[in-house]
């Protein structure tokens, strides 16, 4: 556990531009004890398995996909497609003993700072238990 004492999680966030505004004051992009890398997408349906895996390869301890609320996607089913991809990849991560809790997807209404703070607390709590990524 001593190796986790100085653990500063690196979190990669993929997000639909209609689900999240990555202004620097957001609870998802600012805070002590963690780093974020933001990847903006015109629609969450643009997130592909390979991009999520590359984020882990690049050193992310957790990867988060933020999508529009259910039935509110401007592109009809973009958030549903993203959810299916994330679920498929989570199954693969568990098969290779990489712990699928490192990958998550959340529905987030644009400007919902309270929900963003809850998401970050959940992610940081899980990372405190999981520790650094085994890909490092």
Specify the pLDDT at position 27: 66
Specify the pLDDT at position 113: 81
- What does DSSP assign to residue 100? G
**Look-up of token digits 């999520």:** 52
CB 19 within 8 A of CB 40: no
Decide: residue 44, CB within 10 A, 0-12 exposed, 13-18 middle, 19+ buried.
Answer: buried
Confidence class for position 110, pLDDT limits 50, 70, 90: confident
User: Among the listed ranges 20-24, 62-66, 116-120, which one has the minimum average pLDDT value?
Assistant: 20-24
Distance CA 74, CA 134 (A): 37
Specify the pLDDT at position 52: 96
Which domains does the chain carry? 8-130 (3.40.50)
Residue 2 pLDDT greater than 50, yes or no: no
Specify the pLDDT at position 126: 95
pLDDT in tens, 34-55: 899 989 888 888 899 999 999 9
Residue 118 pLDDT greater than 60, yes or no: yes
Percent of the chain residues past pLDDT 70, beyond the cut: 83
């Amino acid at each position: 556990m001593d190796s986790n004492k100085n653990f500063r999680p690196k979190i990669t966030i993929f997000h639909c531009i209609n689900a999240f505004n990555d202004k620097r004051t957001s609870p998802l992009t600012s805070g002590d004890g963690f780093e974020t890398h933001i990847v903006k997408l015109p629609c969450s349906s643009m997130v592909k398995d390979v991009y999520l895996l590359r984020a882990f390869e690049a050193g992310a301890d957790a990867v988060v996909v933020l999508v529009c609320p259910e039935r509110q996607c401007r592109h009809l089913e973009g958030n549903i497609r993203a959810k299916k991809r994330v679920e498929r990849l989570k199954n693969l991560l568990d098969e290779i003993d990489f712990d699928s809790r490192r990958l998550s997807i959340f529905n987030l209404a644009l400007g919902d700072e309270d929900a963003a703070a809850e998401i970050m607390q959940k992610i940081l709590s899980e990372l405190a238990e999981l520790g650094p990524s085994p890909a490092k």
